[in-house]
Structure 1
Amino acid sequence: MNEWLKTGSLRRKCPSNTSSSQPAQSTFTPIVSISAESSVLNENPATSREQENTTSSTKKRKYDEDYLKIGFTCKEESQYPEPQCVICSEVLANSVMKPSLLRRHLETKHPQYVDKPIDFFVRKKKELDSSKKIMKTVLATNSEYLRASFLVAYKIAKTGKPYNIAEELILPAAKDMVSCVLGDKFSKLLDKIPLSNDTVARRIHEMAHDVEHQLAQRLQNNYYAIQVDESTDISGLPNLLGFIRYVYKNKCEEEFLFCKTLESTTKGEDIFNTINDFIEKHGIDWTKCVGISTDGAKAMTGRISGLISRIKNLAPEVKSVHCALHREALASKKIPDDLKTALSEVVKIINYIKARPLNSRLFALLCRDMGSEHVSLLLHCEVRWLSKGRILARFVELRHEIYIFLKDSDFNLKFRFEDETWLKRVTYLADIFSCLNETNASMQGSTCSVFTVHDKINALIKKIEFWKTCLRSNIFECFPLLHEFITTNALSVDSEMKAEIVLHLSQLSDELKRYFPDIDHAQDGWIRNPFAVTNGSIISSLTIKQQESLIEMSADETLQADFKTMSLIDFWAARQAEYSELSRKAVNFLLPFATTYLCESGFSHLVMIKTKYRNRLDAESELRLKLTKITPKIESLCDKKQAHPSH
């Protein structure tokens, strides 16, 4: 029996590349194994193609035009040409591209078409090509509808509008515009863009998650500083807002970090746990944190359980910063009694008019009749430190209209407008608080650093000393509103009032010096101007090697041009490759926020987004897209989804 099986009539030789040293039995393969293999290839072409591509020794076959006579065309979209049946569209492996195996497919699966002429198969091939084009067009069109859905959702998030505005306003308006310009045929295509309320919400969450992921990647192994603040929204829930500053591609970047709702208390432990959960979730290294800026509340600055003390346990290099804007507001609170009384009476007068709707309407009509530039007063708010200067300036501007409005009323403070001393105090307060507002605004922005704050406060202190000298010489031009009032009414300022103003200026100067101590220029001055360092100076905060690098930098004239045109932190960030140690030391000093102005701006956006009609909204995703500078990867998000047109 074995001898009969060894006859050559039922065997074919192995491919020529088989080693001749192998046993004789391995040089022959039964034909039945070929049939089994071809059957497997026909039944599972995907597995066969995978095996074909992974086997480097297998011969790669080419397509022949004569294969169309047996019903097969060629699919060349993959790495190797693959035969495709024009009748059932089945794609086989490259190894099956033989006339015998292709004919076997036709005879076994389509026996009724075996004797068909080539014209029949040519027609089938055209039908197959046409269906491919239609499918590609449909898929491409659906993907464009999906991309349009993402773009519209992105615009909605950037403007902070409700999600249903897409379905109720944007889509109908777009259809009307397209219908007028291009015709009804094209306007109907817009109905396929998915823009329902829930769809827009999902798109916004997905894009926000993508931006958050990009931010987390940027922060890996990178130094950073954060600022946090807490405020209550329209629904009475406390919201913790955070922003982050870091160096990316040799440039300082400021980004929205998170907006988390504190479910229970707002203690230092609760705030820390919220921040820590976000940091650990994204794999950010706490030891890379070099700065934490807060508003100075007890929950933030508590010595044992405060936020800052807990962060310092994890980040030894962190430096805590009390917001310069809050410190300036605290310094301006100390006012002599007479001036404080005048300020409180101004607030009462404003509340009498502004807080009563009828009085507010009548006062607006009076201002219009008198041709005033403004027709309403501004309310005072202790939380917003800019309000004092603004309400006082508006009050002085509309003082004649207010006096006429109160003249016939029974309000007990209406006679204050006949008191010249009281009006002098009010105009002086409007001047000094307007000056404080200007200083406040100058300490905001991405380029603001501890040096900027120090310069602005020092300039204000020096101006205060100059103003005191001017008052002693009866020069009042430094206070424009007061000077205009006494000049227009031919009045003078007595010695008692001058002493009162001088006292207030002295108190303000002392408070500013207390809240803003001087910077040690001997140790940190090299950061501000590395080209002003003399060769003989010794900086104890730097090692000998670092000081030698600093001397080398100070002699480089090509860097001086960059120093004049770039912001201070960007200049040092760009020196990472050449002066790595000095750059890291300088950047870590400059990274901490000097103020919490970003949080204050973020809360203003939160008020606009989370209204009383959307009081249950989790606004973090919308805030992230609205405040971030990172663009979501919409193309990547579309590729991960199967495009479906709207029904």
Structure 2
Amino acid sequence: MYASTSQRNDDGLRASHNISLLIAKSGKPRTIGEKLILPALEEVLKTVLHKPASDIIKRIPLSNNSVERRIDEMSSDIESFLCNYLQTTHFSIQLDESTLPDNAALLLAYVRFIMNQEIYEELLFARTLITDTKGESIFHVLKDYFIEKAIPLSNIISVSTDGPPAMVGRYRGFISYLKLVAKILSVRLHESLHLVIIFAQLCEENDFHQLLLHTEVRWLSKGFTRFYALFETILEFLDTKDKMLKENLMKRKTDIAYLTDLFTKFNMVNLQLQGDSLNLIKTKSILSAFLARVKLMKQNIGRGEFSQFPNLSQTSCQEDDVSTYVQHLNAVYSDFESRFEDILTMVIPPWIINPYGDIEETNVIIQEELTELSTNEELKVQFKNGSNSGC
């Protein structure tokens, strides 16, 4: 009798853990266990199985606190297992610095490793960056975590930042380059950018921060497009809030239109440089194409052709405006070319793109392997299907 009761209690505890895991995976509030799941179970037991539900339900603790404890216990177990495994194996790590709605900086670390001949990717930790988001601060957060968990730094075999490894240039990732764009602005364009940021701060101070995204990174990625789309409405809004800011914004409308169009193009490239199917060959093609477009934009805008700048084309652009934008595009081109020199100058052998082509021009060392590959009919079909699907 005692053994039977003990077994039922263990089963209830096991069910509590399993349901808590489902709640955690769904992202639903922890209170859903007590408010919805238990009443649903009770209804199923009474209506379908015709069994008294109260005795069974009492053995499945799903209160808010119980679910929280179960999730914490499972998280701790998973983290301990993961860290113990990483202590004895090599792995790659991806670091992603993100900004929360309250402007707090969060560092996320993901690890990829091989276990039982399968590749796994797991979240290692999420830590708040208390001081700043400099490289040194990020390194110390990572180092302190590794020391705490006794994971040797020497087990790291590769590191990627700001997304896929191919997004990383000589110094920083492409997203970081977006932040850098503001630093190569002329004094005039920097002042125009600053006016937009001032408006964001005005919204935040007056509890209108939901009107526009207001962190600096988000202004560079999304905020400008939304800001310019609401430009006339914003001027009306400022008429009662800050008339001086309104007048300054009206004077810089062409600059804001230019920056909106330019950052939109950066966003398009940023999206292209994401995804699991990205590789160095595709990355070089994307970056080379963008660099060529920047050069073309500079030439076209220099002769008064604004078709590549739809917002700017609808403004009254003067000769001194054109000169400012040409100089800025020239600076963007030069800095972009220097920053991604390692990828842009990378030589890609033809056999990598088409291993079934002419092998006579390839390196003698790999000719034998390519010859064997070229006669493999099964791989030919797979290669053809992969090429047709864009893989």
User: For the aligned residues, what is the CA RMSD?
Assistant: 4.4
Query: What is the DSSP-based 3-state SS (H/G/I as helix, E as strand, rest coil) of the residue aligned with 2:125?
Result: strand
Matches within 5 A, 1:51-90: none
Equivalent in 330, 344, 347 of residue 180 of structure 2: 330
What residue number does 2:212 align with? 378
CA distance in 2, matches of 1:187, 1:258: 40
Residue 434 (structure 1) shift:
1.5
What residue number does 2:59 align with? 192
- From the CA coordinates, give the structure whose radius of gyration is larger: 1
How many residue pairs match? The answer is 376
What residue number does 2:359 align with? 534
Q: Does 1:393 align with 2:225?
A: yes
Query: What is the DSSP-based 3-state SS (H/G/I as helix, E as strand, rest coil) of the residue aligned with 2:183?
Result: coil
Matches within 5 A, 1:306-385: 322-331=172-181, 333-357=183-207, 360=208, 377-382=211-216, 384=217
Query: What is the DSSP-based 3-state SS (H/G/I as helix, E as strand, rest coil) of the residue aligned with 1:448?
Result: coil
Q: Does 1:496 align with 2:320?
A: yes
CA, structure 1 residues 217+413, in 2 after alignment: closer, same or farther (shift >3 Å)?
closer
CA distance in 1, matches of 2:236, 2:104: 43
Structure 1 unaligned regions, length at least 5: 1-130, 296-319, 362-375, 572-647
CA distance in 2, matches of 1:240, 1:463: 34
Q: Does 1:461 align with 2:291?
A: yes
Tell me if the contact between 2:15 and 2:60 (Cα under 8 Å) persists in the aligned partners.
yes
CA distance in 2, matches of 1:223, 1:340: 45
Equivalent in 503, 513, 527 of residue 337 of structure 2: 513
CA distance in 1, matches of 2:140, 2:203: 44
Equivalent in 154, 157, 169 of residue 21 of structure 2: 154
Tell me if the contact between 2:103 and 2:215 (Cα under 8 Å) persists in the aligned partners.
no
Residue 243 (structure 1) shift:
1.0
Tell me if the contact between 1:292 and 1:321 (Cα under 8 Å) persists in the aligned partners.
no
Matches within 5 A, 1:186-585: 186=53, 189-197=56-64, 199-209=66-76, 211-212=78-79, 224-228=91-95, 241-246=108-113, 253-259=120-126, 266=137, 268=139, 271-276=142-147, 278=149, 280=151, 286=154, 289-294=156-161, 322-331=172-181, 333-357=183-207, 360=208, 377-382=211-216, 384=217, 386-409=218-241, 411-416=243-248, 418-419=250-251, 422-483=252-313, 485-486=314-315, 491=316, 493-519=317-343, 521-522=346-347, 530-531=355-356, 534-538=359-363, 544=365, 548-563=368-383
Q: Which moved more, 1:425-434 or 1:518-527?
A: 518-527
Structure 2 unaligned regions, length at least 5: 163-169
Output the amino acid matched with 1:438.
M
The one-character-per-residue Cα deviations of 1:366-395 (angstroms, maximum 9, x if unpaired) are xxxxxxxxxx5314323x3x4324222112
Residue 181 (structure 1) shift:
5.6
Query: What is the DSSP-based 3-state SS (H/G/I as helix, E as strand, rest coil) of the residue aligned with 2:62?
Result: coil
Output the amino acid matched with 2:307.
E
With normalisation by structure 2, the TM-score equals 0.75
With normalisation by structure 1, the TM-score equals 0.49
Output the amino acid matched with 1:556.
N
The one-character-per-residue Cα deviations of 1:524-554 (angstroms, maximum 9, x if unpaired) are 7755654457333228xxxx3x553244335
Output the amino acid matched with 1:439.
V
The one-character-per-residue Cα deviations of 1:192-211 (angstroms, maximum 9, x if unpaired) are 20224554344324433554
Query: What is the DSSP-based 3-state SS (H/G/I as helix, E as strand, rest coil) of the residue aligned with 1:257?
Result: strand
Residue 343 (structure 1) shift:
1.3
CA, structure 1 residues 511+395, in 2 after alignment: closer, same or farther (shift >3 Å)?
same
The one-character-per-residue Cα deviations of 1:247-283 (angstroms, maximum 9, x if unpaired) are 5677754321234689999585663353255464xxx
Tell me if the contact between 2:94 and 2:161 (Cα under 8 Å) persists in the aligned partners.
yes
CA distance in 1, matches of 2:357, 2:115: 28
CA distance in 2, matches of 1:180, 1:481: 64
CA, structure 1 residues 377+263, in 2 after alignment: closer, same or farther (shift >3 Å)?
closer
Query: What is the DSSP-based 3-state SS (H/G/I as helix, E as strand, rest coil) of the residue aligned with 2:306?
Result: coil
CA distance in 2, matches of 1:239, 1:410: 34
CA, structure 1 residues 235+342, in 2 after alignment: closer, same or farther (shift >3 Å)?
closer
Query: What is the DSSP-based 3-state SS (H/G/I as helix, E as strand, rest coil) of the residue aligned with 2:53?
Result: helix
CA, structure 1 residues 455+159, in 2 after alignment: closer, same or farther (shift >3 Å)?
same
Tell me if the contact between 1:279 and 1:285 (Cα under 8 Å) persists in the aligned partners.
no
Q: Does 1:169 align with 2:35?
A: yes
The one-character-per-residue Cα deviations of 1:456-515 (angstroms, maximum 9, x if unpaired) are 2222111112222332453322122223x24xxxx4x33322222222111111111111
The one-character-per-residue Cα deviations of 1:623-646 (angstroms, maximum 9, x if unpaired) are xxxxxxxxxxxxxxxxxxxxxxxx
Matches within 5 A, 1:86-165: 142=9, 144-160=11-27, 163=30, 165=31
Query: What is the DSSP-based 3-state SS (H/G/I as helix, E as strand, rest coil) of the residue aligned with 2:94?
Result: strand
Output the amino acid matched with 1:400.
E
- The alignment-based identity, stated in percent, is 27
The one-character-per-residue Cα deviations of 1:206-229 (angstroms, maximum 9, x if unpaired) are 433554577579869865311235
Query: What is the DSSP-based 3-state SS (H/G/I as helix, E as strand, rest coil) of the residue aligned with 2:276?
Result: coil
CA distance in 2, matches of 1:504, 1:557: 53
Output the amino acid matched with 1:349.
F
Output the amino acid matched with 1:509.
Y
